[in-house]
Chains A and B, each alone.
Chain A
Amino acid sequence: MEIPDVAASKEAEASIDLLAIVLDTNPSQQIVRQNPQNLTQILEAVIAFGNAHLMQKAQNKLAVLSCSHYTTEFLFPLPGRHVELRQIDGQYEAFSLVEKTVKQQLGSILMNAPRLSAPCESLLAGSMSMALCYISRLQRNVPAGVKMHSRILVLTGSNECASQYMTYMNVFFTAQKLGIVVDTCALDKTLSLLQQGCDITNGQFLKVNQLDGLLQYLLWVFLPSPQMRHKLVLPPTPKVDYRASCFCHRELIDIGYVCSVCLSVFCKYSPICTTCHTIFKTPGPLPVKPKKKKKTDKQI
């Protein structure tokens, strides 16, 4: 038992850990609307957390993405542009670079954002797929003989909506296939879809009840790399709500109809599958022959 453990920890020391943080900066989040100061507080915590990740190992990498209701932008690193920066205080050069870049970039994004009249949902799933793309690009460029472990951390205060269900699922299963861990830190509401994603990819899901100790929560739960986590005692995963959302009305349902060809889920019976256009021959009214009905028990 001893030797594989040592080898594993050596391997972990040598590998590159990439952390992509997806930060929800949508101004229509409940917590931001209540108190705009909260966003600053979250941002400070995220920057400190990102730097703490970089501090763990010299070869660790960090990416920060901002996700809002209309676009996803990289806050760090910025392609091409090399920020000329001299140390102004005792902070490590690389860390100040992260802090300055993220703040500057986010500032300009918020200034240029179009006015919104009604609260809009954040495009979280889209941002996550962007993070996945970024990760897989870096993965391709990793030199031979070096291993890279990647993970995504989503920080959001908005409510997820079932309309992005398909994208979410695609993201989760892609991440699972690529061996990327998805962690979620919910700042306001419990998010059942993201919870599913964390469960699928062996990530951690945490709902933070008060923003004051956010940094400490992040450092405790999300800083250890996934390989490291089994050595620490972390909060147990709560029961995951595995309901699917239907493809017709984007609502979470317990029981529904599933297309036998493409496995699309519908809350109401339709003779033609809207996804794969398969035509179902329905002889007679359904209640008469209930056994022929394409019905699954999706309830967990």
Chain B
Amino acid sequence: MADTKSGRFASSSAAISPLVQSPENLECKNFQEYLRTRQTPETLEKLYNYPPICLAVYRELPEIARQFVIRILFVDQPVPQAVVTSWGAQRVAKEQMEATSCLTALCVWRVTAIPGGLAAWELSPTFKKSVRQVLLGGGKPWAMTNTLDKDSKPRDITFLDSYAMSRWRCVLHYMVGTGGRNGGTDAEAISPDAVRILLHANLMKRDERDGITITRQGFQFLLLDTRAQVWHFMLQYLETCEERGISLPECLSMLFQLSFSTLGRDYSSEGMNSQMLTFLQHLREFGLVFQRKRKEGRFYPTRLALNVTNKDAAQASTTADEERMQERGYIVVETNYRVYAYTDSQLQVAVLGLFTELLYRFPNLVVGVLTRDSVRQALRGGITAEQIVSYLEQYAHPNMKLVESAIQSKSCLPPTVVDQIKLWELERNRFTYTEGVVYNQFLSQNDFVTLRDYAQSINMLVWQNERTRTMVVQKNGHDDVKRYWKKYSKSGG
């Protein structure tokens, strides 16, 4: 008689398994995921009262979904589901399904019945109203657009950029702990509120021995591009904002108003309630807005706040700025795995040191090499190959980008290096974990062979060994195999 035991069984093949990955990796959500996971239909409905939020939601939708929404935006009756389905081509049915479910999940539209018993889609009236308002006008102006008299000392875009980046770097420097060593002044320190958010987001942790230190999520955070950093940080902020007694819809609406504002133009904080003014002060601290004095009713949004949800848009607009590009790109990667970084910033060197072996250091240049060991160490620290590659791509020297457009390749990094980093990651993921059931202690070879062949015929066999008469069957195949075994043994086989 075969004895069955339930257990896990590991077979070797290359794939990533959820069972081994530690759950403490940095989780970056985009706006859509955030809304889906954190918001209930009622709160979503509340959010849709704010036109800026609706515009942001609309832009986050999949492309097909955007077309569907705009097609029924000006239709007042519900549209039968069959009609909507007929809009998409047959071979992208799957994509269309995703778009439809996304719209439902975000409560952008809902199912209603129309006369004749057909199911139909109807846009959420609040959402419809807000989007129409954004597109065609009408309704109240957004909160921060009160008229202002002309600023006597208007700030230009270059100033705003450098201001924003210096503020944001303060936060990053604080995380790496290099702010103090660089002879940081008071202006470089960050407020207890910001520290609280970093702690809440698990980017830093309190340690009895040496105070506040950076966590591994923190290091992963540093590898993100600035845009993603800001967005992740703001999401964490929004989670804590209810505790401070600031209303979430108002905050989000404010954030998106900033995100849709014009760079280099001043806006008025007149008419904002005290909560929003506090929020504004926080944004000011992180460099999302520039305000000369705390009490001044005028502020300038900076590049950090613009298009806060959309990385691509940001790229398209920021890289257009020549000077900025010069400032950002400083890494040259060669095919021999050498990495040259033209920088003297502690922060950038610290981040680079996460996955390269640093060789030389000059006043404005750091030379390192990507080795198997250094990359594996980073991978062990929970950093993914994708993150390393995207970091190198993001800060690639402008000359590297010229090569990219010259040879029409997808990435500006040497393909060998990119592939190798990915291979180094794959090296670590050689196990697939499958739940299974062990069958052993068969009395005869014949029993074993019969059962094994059956399991194989229904594609449920994971592993077998004839000598020890042991076989492993997938868990969902267990019932079938057991039934077969019962029948087989009853028939006296």
- Co-assembled chains A and B: yes
A binding-site residues for B, Cβ under 8 Å: 5, 9, 12-14, 16, 48, 51-52, 55-59, 86-96, 99, 141-146, 215-216, 219-220, 223-224, 228, 230-233
Question: Could you show 21 A-B contacts with beta carbons less than 8 Å apart?
Answer: A14-B312, A16-B316, A55-B55, A56-B63, A87-B142, A87-B145, A89-B139, A90-B134, A90-B141, A91-B135, A92-B260, A93-B261, A95-B135, A99-B137, A144-B402, A145-B404, A219-B71, A223-B70, A231-B64, A231-B88, A232-B64
- Please report the C-alpha to C-alpha distance between residue A227 and residue B297 in the assembled complex, in whole angstroms: 45
Which residue of B is nearest A51, CB measured? B135
Looking at the assembled complex, report how far the CB atom of A102 sits from the nearest CB atom of chain B, in whole angstroms. Answer: 14
- Please report the C-alpha to C-alpha distance between residue A13 and residue B230 in the assembled complex, in whole angstroms: 20
Are A146's CB and B134's CB within 8 A? no
- Please report the C-alpha to C-alpha distance between residue A94 and residue B257 in the assembled complex, in whole angstroms: 12
- Please report the C-alpha to C-alpha distance between residue A48 and residue B310 in the assembled complex, in whole angstroms: 23
Q: What are the residues of chain A within 8 A of B402 when measuring CB–CB?
A: 144
Stretch from B102-110, B277-285, B317-325, B330-338 that touches the partner: B317-325
Given A52-B70, A55-B134, A144-B402, verify A233-B88 contact (CB < 8 Å): yes
A-B residue pairs, 4 tightest by C-beta: A90-B139, A58-B313, A91-B137, A143-B319
Are B135's CB and A55's CB within 8 A? yes
Are B145's CB and A223's CB within 8 A? no
Which residue of A is nearest B322, CB measured? A143
- Please report the C-alpha to C-alpha distance between residue A48 and residue B313 in the assembled complex, in whole angstroms: 22
Q: Which of B71, B95, B312 contacts A59 (CB 8 A)?
A: B312
Looking at the assembled complex, report how far the CB atom of A216 sits from the nearest CB atom of chain B, in whole angstroms. Answer: 6
- Please report the C-alpha to C-alpha distance between residue A87 and residue B51 in the assembled complex, in whole angstroms: 13
- Please report the C-alpha to C-alpha distance between residue A55 and residue B135 in the assembled complex, in whole angstroms: 8
Looking at the assembled complex, report how far the CB atom of A63 sits from the nearest CB atom of chain B, in whole angstroms. Answer: 16
Q: What are the residues of chain A within 8 A of B260 when measuring CB–CB?
A: 92-94
- Please report the C-alpha to C-alpha distance between residue A215 and residue B73 in the assembled complex, in whole angstroms: 11
- List which B378-412 residues lie within 8 A (CB) of chain A: 398, 401-402, 404-405, 412
B298 close to chain A: CB less than 8 A: no
Are A87's CB and B141's CB within 8 A? yes
Are B313's CB and A59's CB within 8 A? yes
B362 close to chain A: CB less than 8 A: no
Q: What are the residues of chain B within 8 A of A89 when measuring CB–CB?
A: 133, 137-141
B40 close to chain A: CB less than 8 A: no
Are A86's CB and B147's CB within 8 A? yes
Q: Which of A9, A88, A141, A223 contacts B67 (CB 8 A)?
A: A223
B89 close to chain A: CB less than 8 A: yes
Given A48-B136, A143-B325, A145-B401, verify A58-B87 contact (CB < 8 Å): no
Are A92's CB and B55's CB within 8 A? yes
Which residue of A is nearest B316, CB measured? A59
Q: What are the residues of chain A within 8 A of B67 when measuring CB–CB?
A: 223-224, 228, 232
Looking at the assembled complex, report how far the CB atom of B64 sits from the nearest CB atom of chain A, in whole angstroms. Answer: 6
- Please report the C-alpha to C-alpha distance between residue A58 and residue B310 in the assembled complex, in whole angstroms: 8
- Please report the C-alpha to C-alpha distance between residue A230 and residue B89 in the assembled complex, in whole angstroms: 7
Q: Which of B134, B262, B312 contacts A91 (CB 8 A)?
A: B134
B469 close to chain A: CB less than 8 A: no
Which residue of A is nearest B99, CB measured? A231
Q: What are the residues of chain B within 8 A of A215 when measuring CB–CB?
A: 74
Q: What are the residues of chain B within 8 A of A220 when measuring CB–CB?
A: 71
Are B63's CB and A9's CB within 8 A? yes
Q: What are the residues of chain B within 8 A of A13 when measuring CB–CB?
A: 63, 312
Are B51's CB and A90's CB within 8 A? yes
Are A219's CB and B70's CB within 8 A? yes
Given A9-B63, A89-B141, A90-B141, verify A146-B307 contact (CB < 8 Å): no
Q: What are the residues of chain A within 8 A of B64 when measuring CB–CB?
A: 228, 231-232
B8 close to chain A: CB less than 8 A: no
Given A86-B145, A87-B142, A231-B92, verify A146-B319 contact (CB < 8 Å): yes
- List which B43-58 residues lie within 8 A (CB) of chain A: 51, 55, 58
B315 close to chain A: CB less than 8 A: yes
- Please report the C-alpha to C-alpha distance between residue A224 and residue B89 in the assembled complex, in whole angstroms: 13
Which residue of A is nearest B412, CB measured? A145
Are A233's CB and B315's CB within 8 A? no
Q: What are the residues of chain B within 8 A of A93 when measuring CB–CB?
A: 145, 260-262
- Please report the C-alpha to C-alpha distance between residue A96 and residue B70 in the assembled complex, in whole angstroms: 19
Q: What are the residues of chain A within 8 A of B66 when measuring CB–CB?
A: 56
